[in-house]
Amino acid sequence: MKSLSLLLLCILLCASTFVHAVNINTPISIKTDPDMDYPETIVTSPNPEFEQLEEMALGLFSFCDRYNRDGTEKNTKNVAFFNETLTLLKQKSDNLQWRQDIDAILLGKEMNEKYTNAVKKPVVLIPGITASGLVAKFDIASNWFKIWANMWDIVCQDSLFKNFEPSFDPNTKKFKNAEGINILPHDFGGVEGVDYIDQTFKLFTNVFGKMINYFTGLGYKSHQIRGAPYDWRLPIQSLFDNGWMSKFQQLIEDTYTNNGNQRVVLISHSMGGLVTTAFLNTMTEAWRDQYIDTFVPMSAPWSGAPKSIENVVSGESMGWGIIPKWRLRNFARTSGGVIQLIPNDYVYDQNKIVVVGPGNERFSVSNITTLFSRVDPIAGAIHEFVKHPAIRTPENKPLVNTLCIYTTGVDTVSAFDYSMGYDRSPRQYMNAKKGDGTVPFESLASCNSWSSSDKHRLVKKEFSGVEHAAILKEAKVFEYIVKNVLKQ
Ligand SMILES: *[C@@H]1O[C@H](CO)[C@@H](O)[C@H](O)[C@H]1NC(C)=O
Ligand SMILES: *[C@@H]1O[C@H](CO)[C@@H](O)[C@H](O)[C@H]1NC(C)=O
């Protein structure tokens, strides 16, 4: 079935939910750590109304597909018709979104009663790659505008990626913005940078939006639920260098103070879990004890995800070509954020083959830099820089109370066959039902290798039958968090 995931954000480990929930009819049993609660299978029912609107959006965006595969421009299409369809789509999708918002709030209310007034521990939300809103300003202009994301610009405007691609200097190991432009997280500390990727198309771009509505139903007010959007184009190291990590620390401290010195719950999705772990590892034990109640990483790719290899090597627009693949590929090759998600040897065997190239040449986790350097020396240099994160402690775990949640039971790509050439779409090797459709099971489940200490509780929870981004819409997952973290 068609999916808008194809459209954009899936250069990526997108937290956007163009991705529709997958229907898994047969429950899957997975062998798990004996400590872990028995995995819970979630069966999602199809939503024909959503699917119809998704189709409509796809049709609409194909209208502005002014580009041929080689990047040359086609004739402009019928603009008036486009505008009319856009208005209709907006009305219909806002309407469905509105009903979903109400449902999430009511559900939160119900849960608040069920768990007799869940304690409102303050919460900070940390999104995954592509899922933070970013604003930009040209040096010559005075106003900031939302550069990430505005679907129309992404799909239709050639200039977006030109302004959006960072550049990397292999000597200084620094990333720079394109000449003449500043880029910052949108609404840091508020929730507008972490709720929907595109506020105009909320229905298709949920990040923490649904969860925030649910928390509103639980009785949360704005000082109790905060957002920590970050410049996900950059690798974690650069978030230390550019001062973001200090702002993150300050946000947590302020949230603690503004809530009567209550310790804070950190809830992350996908790459946000790696960012948060790196942060926690650099703080002192005294700081962590004072400020952090619990860390809830959802769907973190602890050891990377092979999917990101395709982003860099051949580009990925998932068969649709609405955004030319070369454009996404060029972006991925400049992005330390994307490249740091290449599988690493934290969990994977370093000799695990992830790419088979022309002439049966093989690349494993240990020599993927060689492959990247061949397709693009800068991508190789970035990979060299990000593959050994400087901030790993010997333990390399969060060092606070942790509730590690992930989903599995979905077919997930594990390696690529590029024997037809690196500029061609590869054949994919799939891991049947082992992973969340984006991140393989081994990488998600590696928190199973951590153990509780006398001091810190570690709880692991696996759900089955839900995709990587769809976890952020699952009521059962929200309830699990309420039951295990927010209720005392
Ligand atoms: C679409 O309609 C809006 C007003 O409804 C107008 O401002 C805009 O210029 C139109 N866009 C195009 C591309 O014609
Ligand atoms: C990459 O490393 C693997 C073993 O980890 C080896 O089999 C393979 O030949 C190496 N490939 C290249 C191109 O060096």
Chain segment 124-134, per-residue pLDDT in tens: 999 999 899 99
Measure CA 400 to chain center.
22
Chain segment 137-152, per-residue pLDDT in tens: 999 999 999 999 887 7
* 78 Cβ inside 6 Å of ligand 1: no
Give nearest CA residue, ligand 1 atom 3. 83
Q: State which H helix or E strand residue 169 sits in.
A: strand 167-169
For 113, other C-beta atoms within 10 Å of its C-beta total: 10
Confidence band, pLDDT 50/70/90 cuts, at residue 158? low
What's the Rg (C-alpha) of the chain? 21
Which residue type, as a one-letter code, is found at position 122?
A: P
Phi and psi dihedrals of 391, rounded to 5? -100, 25
**The predicted structure's pLDDT at residue 392:** 60
Helical ranges in 258-367 per DSSP H = 271-282, 285-291, 307-313, 325-332, 336-339
Cβ atoms 355, 371 nearer than 8 A: yes
Q: Mean of the per-residue pLDDT values for the chain?
A: 86
For residues 248 and 227, give the distance between their C-alpha atoms in angstroms, rounded to a whole number: 10
Closest CA to 277 of 187, 396, 193: 396
Ligand nearest to the CA of 81: 1
Ligand nearest to the CA of 364: 2
Closest CA to 329 of 10, 5, 4: 10
**The predicted structure's pLDDT at residue 201:** 87
For 216, other C-beta atoms within 10 Å of its C-beta total: 17
pLDDT at 287 over 60: yes
Give nearest CA residue, ligand 2 atom 12. 363
Chain segment 345-394, per-residue pLDDT in tens: 888 999 999 999 999 999 999 999 999 999 999 999 999 999 866 556 55
Ligand nearest to the CA of 374: 2
For 46, other C-beta atoms within 10 Å of its C-beta total: 11
Highest mean pLDDT among 39-43, 67-71, 153-157, 326-330: 326-330
If you measure from the C-alpha of residue 88 to the centroid of ligand 1, how many angstroms do you get, rounded to a whole number? 14
pLDDT at 191 over 50: yes
Chain segment 30-43, per-residue pLDDT in tens: 333 434 455 688 88
Q: State which H helix or E strand residue 461 sits in.
A: strand 458-464
Chain segment 423-436, per-residue pLDDT in tens: 998 999 998 889 99
Atom of ligand 2 nearest to the CA of 365: 5
* 369 Cβ inside 6 Å of ligand 2: no
Question: What's the average model confidence in pLDDT over 298-320?
Answer: 85
For residues 447 and 401, give the distance between their C-alpha atoms in angstroms, rounded to a whole number: 13
Among 61, 64, 77, 83, the mutation site with the greatest number of ligand 1 atoms within 8 A of its Cβ is 83
For residues 432 and 37, give the distance between their C-alpha atoms in angstroms, rounded to a whole number: 23
User: What domains can be seen in the chain, in order of their start residue?
Assistant: 4-486 (3.40.50.1820)
- The DSSP string of 376-389 is -HHHHHHHHHHSS-
Question: What's the average model confidence in pLDDT over 315-319?
Answer: 64
**The predicted structure's pLDDT at residue 61:** 74
Give nearest CA residue, ligand 2 atom 10. 363
Confidence band, pLDDT 50/70/90 cuts, at residue 81? confident
Q: 328: burial class by Cβ within 10 Å (0-12, 13-18, 19+)?
A: buried
pLDDT at 78 over 70: no
The pTM score is 0.90
Lowest mean pLDDT among 76-90, 163-177, 180-194: 76-90
Question: What's the average model confidence in pLDDT over 62-73?
Answer: 57
Highest mean pLDDT among 24-28, 226-230, 301-305: 226-230
Confidence band, pLDDT 50/70/90 cuts, at residue 261? very high
**The predicted structure's pLDDT at residue 6:** 34
Chain segment 202-221, per-residue pLDDT in tens: 998 999 999 999 999 999 99
Atom of ligand 1 nearest to the CA of 87: 5
* 364 Cβ inside 6 Å of ligand 2: yes
Give nearest CA residue, ligand 2 atom 4. 351
The residue with tokens 């639980």 is 218
**The predicted structure's pLDDT at residue 302:** 92
Among 348, 364, 366, 371, the mutation site with the greatest number of ligand 2 atoms within 8 A of its Cβ is 364
If you measure from the C-alpha of residue 361 to the centroid of ligand 2, how many angstroms do you get, rounded to a whole number? 8
Chain segment 411-423, per-residue pLDDT in tens: 999 999 999 999 9
For residues 251 and 234, give the distance between their C-alpha atoms in angstroms, rounded to a whole number: 20
Cβ atoms 475, 107 nearer than 8 A: yes
